[in-house]
């Protein structure tokens, strides 16, 4: 049973990816472009040389953070859809610190990272407290908080922290920017993201606290009966997942974007949730999935500039991967589907 489960969780995403690419190739061909050539540019744009690889990693870094955020929360049964808002709050705080406070260098970076994490955690706690003390479904609340955070960022870059005449904040000073990772365009934020992923993996699967958290997520009633403090774990998972996203936001600002502008972090939160699900909530697989999606996005820019195939084709492919994977994973959990396998096993036995 366990082997079948694992097989399904690997097989379905891979199958979804293949089917989605197939459909994408059909669309590209229907547009009159050469699918093979387009896919070739997609690949080249993502992995073709060191610079592009660096761009892929750089684009993957924020996605890894939001994916880990969603993973961690879901493991406790918490549907934290507010990754985007928490990410943005972290970035706002980091922007303020980096551009307005008289700190510089490594202390500034550390301060921004900590502030980002704390800000993201607190933002998530709003929904957490409402869930625990008012019984409210956190899904809707976190979505609403996302929009409020985005609009707040709008006030920040059009008004409070605006620099000059274009609606954007001042750029993070050079001394506070993150150093590059191996000379690539990706910064040390990328290995930091990987380390965070490893830490989460270790916590969830090798500590008793993590075990309890997962127990709460799998069956809250049983956990309560066993004496686990549900409220404590739920609130903790909100806070920690929000902190991860907030940290991601701060690092993204200091490492890649340098300014808050319209469209900063657009879609990262929801993408993270989707990727967490595709990865079956496993932190390390989540990292792989995030890199894959980032590659799709980075590659599609080159595909678009070289062959004229619009980037929306790549968006469709990504969306189809999510559509098929989530449906497929749900399907294999259906009782009717499982009966198919047990009946066959009984026949063979």
Per the CB < 8 A criterion, the answer to whether 35 and 25 are in contact is: yes
Per the CB < 8 A criterion, the answer to whether 248 and 239 are in contact is: no
Could you say which of 219, 229, 262, 342 contacts another protein (CB under 8 A)? 262
From 175-183, 214-222, 223-231, 308-316, give the range in contact with another protein by CB under 8 A. Answer: 308-316
Minimum gap (Å) between residue 207 Cβ and another protein: 26
Per the CB < 8 A criterion, the answer to whether 309 and 33 are in contact is: yes
From 3-11, 95-103, 194-202, 236-244, give the range in contact with another protein by CB under 8 A. Answer: 3-11
Minimum gap (Å) between residue 66 Cβ and another protein: 13
Beta bridge partners of 180: 187
With residues binned 3-state (H G I as helix, E B as strand, rest as coil), the percentages for the chain, rounded to 5, are 80, 0, 20
Q: What is the largest CA-CA distance in the chain?
A: 75
Over the window 144 to 163, marking each residue x when it contacts another protein by CB under 8 A and - when it does not, the resulting string is xx-xx--xx-xx--xx----
> Residue 207 or 262: which CB sits closer to another protein?
262
**Integer Cα distance of 129 and 127 in angstroms:** 6
Minimum gap (Å) between residue 310 Cβ and another protein: 5
**Integer Cα distance of 256 and 59 in angstroms:** 9
Q: Does 219 participate in binding another protein (rule CB under 8 A)?
A: no
Over the window 317 to 336, marking each residue x when it contacts another protein by CB under 8 A and - when it does not, the resulting string is -xxx-xx--xx-xxx-xxx-
Per the CB < 8 A criterion, the answer to whether 128 and 235 are in contact is: yes
**Integer Cα distance of 87 and 125 in angstroms:** 14
Minimum gap (Å) between residue 107 Cβ and another protein: 27
Over the window 36 to 65, marking each residue x when it contacts another protein by CB under 8 A and - when it does not, the resulting string is ----x--xxx--x------x----------
Minimum gap (Å) between residue 283 Cβ and another protein: 18
Q: Does 304 participate in binding another protein (rule CB under 8 A)?
A: yes
Per the CB < 8 A criterion, the answer to whether 268 and 83 are in contact is: yes
Q: Which two tokens stand for residue 128?
A: 């957490």
Over the window 101 to 140, marking each residue x when it contacts another protein by CB under 8 A and - when it does not, the resulting string is -------------------------x---x---xxxx-xx
Interface of this chain with another protein, residues 6 to 25, rule: CB under 8 A? 6-7, 10-11, 14
Per the CB < 8 A criterion, the answer to whether 243 and 121 are in contact is: yes
């Amino acid at each position: 049973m366990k082997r079948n489960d694992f097989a399904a969780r690997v097989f379905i995403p891979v199958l979804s990816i293949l089917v989605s690419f197939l459909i994408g190739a059909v669309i590209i061909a229907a547009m009159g472009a050469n699918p093979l050539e387009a896919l070739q540019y997609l690949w080249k744009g993502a992995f073709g040389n060191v610079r592009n690889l660096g761009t892929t990693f750089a684009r993957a870094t924020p996605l890894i953070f939001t994916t880990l955020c969603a993973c961690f929360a879901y493991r406790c049964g918490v549907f934290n859809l507010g990754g985007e808002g928490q990410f943005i709050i972290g970035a706002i705080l980091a922007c303020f610190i980096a551009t307005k406070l008289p700190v510089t260098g490594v202390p500034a970076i550390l301060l921004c990272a900590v502030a980002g994490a704390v800000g993201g955690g607190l933002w998530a706690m709003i929904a957490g407290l409402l869930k625990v003390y008012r019984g409210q479904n956190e899904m809707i609340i976190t979505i609403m908080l996302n929009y409020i955070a985005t609009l707040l960022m709008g006030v920040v870059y059009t008004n409070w922290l605006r620099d000059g005449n274009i609606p954007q904040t001042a750029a993070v000073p050079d001394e506070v920017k993150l150093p590059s990772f191996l000379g690539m365009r990706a910064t040390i934020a990328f290995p930091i993201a990987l380390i965070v992923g490893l830490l989460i993996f270790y916590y969830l699967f090798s500590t008793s606290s993590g075990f309890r958290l997962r127990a709460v997520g799998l069956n809250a009633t049983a956990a309560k009966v066993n004496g686990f403090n549900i409220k404590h774990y739920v609130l903790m998972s909100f806070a920690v997942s929000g902190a991860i996203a907030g940290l991601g936001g701060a690092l993204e600002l200091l490492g890649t974007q340098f300014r808050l502008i319209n469209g900063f972090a657009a879609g990262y939160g929801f993408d993270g949730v989707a990727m967490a699900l595709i990865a079956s909530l496993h932190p390390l697989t989540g990292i792989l999935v995030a890199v894959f999606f980032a590659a799709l996005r980075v590659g599609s820019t080159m595909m678009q500039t070289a062959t004229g195939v619009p980037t929306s084709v790549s968006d469709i492919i990504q969306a189809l991967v999510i559509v098929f994977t989530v449906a497929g994973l749900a399907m294999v959990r259906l009782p009717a589907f499982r009966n198919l396998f047990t009946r066959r096993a009984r026949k063979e036995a």
